[in-house]
Amino acid sequence: MATIHTLQEIQKALSGVNLTPYIEQGFIAYSNNEVIVPPVGELIFDDPPGDTHIKYGYIKGDEIYVIKIASGFYNNPELGLSSSSGLMLVFSQKTGILQNILLDDGHLTNIRTAIAGQIAAKHLAPETINTIGVLGTGIQARMQVEYLKSVTPCREVVVWGRTPERVEEYKYDLETKGFNVAQADSPAQVASSVNLIITTTPSSTPLLFAADIQPGTHITAMGSDTDKKQELDSSILARADIVIGDSISQCRERGEISKALAAGVIEEKHIIELGNYISNTPPFKRDNKTISVVDLTGVAVQDIQIAAAVCEKLMQMNREPRSKVS
Amino acid sequence: MATIHTLQEIQKALSGVNLTPYIEQGFIAYSNNEVIVPPVGELIFDDPPGDTHIKYGYIKGDEIYVIKIASGFYNNPELGLSSSSGLMLVFSQKTGILQNILLDDGHLTNIRTAIAGQIAAKHLAPETINTIGVLGTGIQARMQVEYLKSVTPCREVVVWGRTPERVEEYKYDLETKGFNVAQADSPAQVASSVNLIITTTPSSTPLLFAADIQPGTHITAMGSDTDKKQELDSSILARADIVIGDSISQCRERGEISKALAAGVIEEKHIIELGNYISNTPPFKRDNKTISVVDLTGVAVQDIQIAAAVCEKLMQMNREPRSKVS
C-alpha cells in the first residue's frame, strides 16, 4: 500500500540530501525532450476565492511519475490557516501504482523553486558577487538568498519591498541567518549597488528598466509565472547579452520572456533553455560588462525530481536498521 | 491532517448507503450547469504500456472538490497485479485543504458507473423487463446487472461475449448471485429475446444494428467512452424514439452519440441530457413500441458525488461512539 509522509518526515528526509544535482539533471532531461509534461490542470473558485493547480509528468524511462496538487485560498489567513496547501503523489512508471503520498504543503515547491535560482546563479552569476539585490520580501525572497550560500561567500543583501513592516521582518529574518541586510527606497536603488539581482514579487508592472542595471549584473527573475505578471521592463532583456528561460515553450506564454517577445525586442532564436545551457560545453563566458537574465517560470520536472530525491531518501531511511531497544 | 482510507474501510463505509440519489442529484446539477469539470488530464506510457487519467471538478457551492486519478497498466497481470489502480482525493472547497485520501483502486469508479446504468434503467426501461440482455463479460457486465436488482424483479439474463471461457465464468458468477443466465451466439441473438440491453464491451466496431432491436427495447450503452469505441450502429440511434446522453458536451466527442452525429443520422437538438431528463416533469412516456437509448460516457460529477457520499459516511462512522473495552 502507498505510504503517507507528513511534512515533518519529508523535512527529515531532506536533511543531508544534495538536491541540486537532481534539479540540474531534471532541467537537462527537459531540454533533451526526455520529459513529458502535459498542460497544467486548473480549478478556479469564486467564493471564497481560491485556485488549485495540478502539475504532472514524468521523465521517460524513469521509475516514477509525479502528480502535484497545489492550492491557494486567499481568505485562509482569516481562519488562521495558511493560504497555500498541497501534496505530491508519486506513482510507479512500471505499474501505475501509487507509492508515496508526500503531504508537503507546498514546501517542496518552495525548495525546488529556490534551487532553480541557485542553479541559475551557479552557472550564470559573476565570479565575484559583491552584493545580492532582492526585490520582494516573501518566502522566495528569503529562500533564494539562503540557497545562494553554497554558491557564493557574499552575505551582503540589499532589499526593496512595498510594505515597510515586511521589509523589517525580512531584514530581521535574514540577519538571524548570517546576512547583512540594507534597505533600498526603490528597485532602481537596489540595482545601482549590486551585481546579482533576484526578483521575487507578484508585480504586474515592470519594477526595473534597462538604465537601472549595472554592467556585469546577473538577474534571476522568478516572480512572474503567469502571462499577467512582469517585473523586468523588456528593455532589460533587449539589452542583455544572454537570456535564458527554464522552458522555452512555457516562456513563450508566461513570464518576462513572453513580454519581451510580444514587444518584439528579442527573438526566440536567441533565447537559450536552461537545461541546454547547463549541459553545453564550452559554457558561455561572461566578462565584467556582461548582463545576463534567467527567467524562471517553474517547470514540472523540478517537482518530479525533488519528489524522486525525497522518495529515494525515505526508502533508504526505511531500510536502515532501527536502533535496538535494550 | 488528511485521513487515508483503504479499500476495506471504503467498502465498510459504502454498506448501507443508498448512493443512487447522490448520483442522480449529480446528473441534475451537471445539467443545470452547476458543475465545474475541466478537460481530463492524461499521461500515456509506452514501455510498459499504460495510461493515467486525472478527472476533477466540483459542484458550485458544495463543501468539497474531488480529484480522481485512475491508471491502466496493461502488462500488470503478468506481474500478478491488477491492470487498473487509482485513488480519489477530497479537498475542502472552502480552504483548499486535503481532507480524505480514498485508496479505492478504481472500485468507486466501478460503482458510480454501475449506478449510472441503474439510473438509466430506473427512468427509461420498460415497466416490465422480461429478460436482461448483456453484451460483454467484464466487471461492468456483472455490476450493471446486479445494480438492476433494485429496479426490476427480473432475474433472467442472456449474455454474449467473444471468449467462451469468460462467458462460462460470467454465467457461474451471476448464477451464484441469483440470476438465470442463458448464452447467446451473437449480439443479434441477445437482442432478439430481450427488452433491456446493456452493452459493456470495448468494441471499436458496431455489434448491434437497428434491425436487431425489438420494439419496446431500452438500451444502456456504456462500453464506448472514447472517440474510437462503438457498440451500436448509428442506425439504432436514428431509429430510437429517445436518445439520452450523460453529458451532451462529452457525447459530442466520444461514445455512441458522437458516431451518430458524425454520420448525420441524428441531430444534437434531439438529444436529451440525462440530468435534464431526470428532473423534467412530466417525464417521457414510453409505450410497448418505444425504443430508447442512453449513452453513458462517464462524467466527473459521478466521482464527485460518490466521493462525497463515502466521506459523509466515514465522518459519521468516526463520530459514532466506539464500543467500550470492559
Residues of B in Cβ contact (< 8 Å) with A45: 58, 65, 93, 96
Select the residue from A73, A95, A301 to test the B interface by mutation, using most B Cβ atoms within 10 A: A95
In angstroms, the CA A282 to CA B196 distance is: 72
Residues 6+ apart with CB under 8 A from A160: A133, A134, A135, A167, A183, A184, A185, A186, A187, A189, A190
Residues 6+ apart with CB under 8 A from A112: A19, A23, A302, A303, A305, A306
Select the residue from B34, B51, B69, B105 to test the A interface by mutation, using most A Cβ atoms within 10 A: B69
Contact assignment for B57 to A65 by CB distance below 8 Å: no
- Compute the CA torsion angle B205, B207, B212, B216 (nearest 10 deg): -110
Residues 6+ apart with CB under 8 A from B148: B117, B118, B121, B129, B132, B154, B196
Residue A226, min C-alpha distance to chain B (Å):
19
- The CA radius of gyration of chain A, in Å to the nearest whole number, is 20
Nearest to A207 by CA among A227, A185, A179, A226: A185
Nearest to B305 by CA among B58, B131, B137, B60: B58
Nearest to A124 by CA among A302, A286, A299: A286
Find the chain A residues whose C-beta atoms sit closer than 8 A to any C-beta of B: 1-2, 4, 6, 36, 38, 41-45, 47-48, 50, 52, 54, 56-58, 61, 65, 67, 69, 71-73, 76, 79, 81, 85, 87, 89, 91, 93-98, 101, 103
Q: Per the structure block, which three cell numbers stand in for B67?
A: 480529484
Residues of B in Cβ contact (< 8 Å) with A57: 43
Least confident interval from A59-68, A291-300, B75-84: B75-84
Among the partner residues A36, A50, A57, nearest to B96 by beta-carbon distance: A50
pLDDT at A84 over 90: no
Contact assignment for B71 to A101 by CB distance below 8 Å: no
Among the partner residues B50, B54, B96, nearest to A96 by beta-carbon distance: B50
Determine how many CB atoms are found less than 10 A away from the CB of residue A176: 8
A89, closest residue in chain B (CA to CA): B69
A121 three-state secondary structure: helix
How far is residue B324 from each of residues A179, B114, B187, B317, B321, measured CA to CA in Å? 58, 38, 57, 15, 8
**Per-residue model confidence as pLDDT tens digits over A183-213:** 999 999 999 999 999 999 989 999 999 999 9
- Ordered by where they begin, the domains of chain A are 3-108+302-319 (3.30.1780.10), 116-299 (3.40.50.720)
Longest dimension (CA), chain A: 72
In angstroms, the CA B293 to CA B241 distance is: 8
Contact, B133 vs B105, CB < 8 A? no
How far is residue B315 from each of residues B13, B68, B97, measured CA to CA in Å? 9, 20, 16
Computed over every residue of chain A, the mean pLDDT equals: 94
In this prediction the ipTM stands at: 0.87
A105, closest residue in chain B (CA to CA): B97
B94, closest residue in chain A (CA to CA): A48
Across the range A219-229, mean pLDDT stands at 89
Between B300-319 and B107-124, two packed helices, what is the crossing angle to 10 degrees?
110
Residues of B in Cβ contact (< 8 Å) with A4: 2, 4, 101
Kindly provide the residue ranges of all beta strands, DSSP E only, lying in chain A, ordered along the sequence.
3-5, 35-36, 41-45, 50-59, 64-73, 84-92, 98-102, 132-135, 156-160, 180-183, 196-199, 218-221, 242-245, 271-273, 292-295
Residue whose grid cell is 545551457: A277
The amino acid present at A79, given as its one-letter code, is L
Q: Per the structure block, which three cell numbers stand in for A306?
A: 525533488
Residues of B in Cβ contact (< 8 Å) with A56: 41, 43, 54
Residues of A in Cβ contact (< 8 Å) with B79: 95
Residue A185, min C-alpha distance to chain B (Å):
36
Between B139-146 and B107-124, two packed helices, what is the crossing angle to 10 degrees?
50
Complete DSSP assignment for A183-214: E-SSHHHHHHT-SEEEE----SS--B-GGGPP
B89, closest residue in chain A (CA to CA): A69
The amino acid present at A167, given as its one-letter code, is V
Q: Per the structure block, which three cell numbers stand in for B128?
A: 416490465
Residue B206, min C-alpha distance to chain A (Å):
31
Interface contacts (A, B; CB < 8 Å): 112
Complete DSSP assignment for B98-152: EEEEE--TTHHHHHHHHHHHHHHHHHHS-SS---EEEE--SHHHHHHHHTTTTT-
pLDDT 10s per residue in chain B (326 long)?
788 999 999 999 999 899 999 999 999 999 999 999 998 899 999 999 999 999 999 999 999 999 999 999 989 989 999 888 999 999 999 999 999 999 999 999 999 999 999 999 999 999 999 999 999 999 999 999 999 999 999 999 999 999 999 999 999 999 999 999 999 999 999 999 999 999 999 899 999 999 999 999 999 999 888 888 999 999 999 999 999 999 999 999 999 999 999 999 999 999 999 999 999 866 678 888 999 999 999 999 999 999 999 999 999 988 876 554 43
Across the range A94-116, mean pLDDT stands at 95
Beta bridge partners of A182: A158
Among the partner residues A1, A45, A96, nearest to B93 by beta-carbon distance: A45
- Compute the CA torsion angle B57, B59, B61, B64 (nearest 10 deg): -60
B312 three-state secondary structure: helix
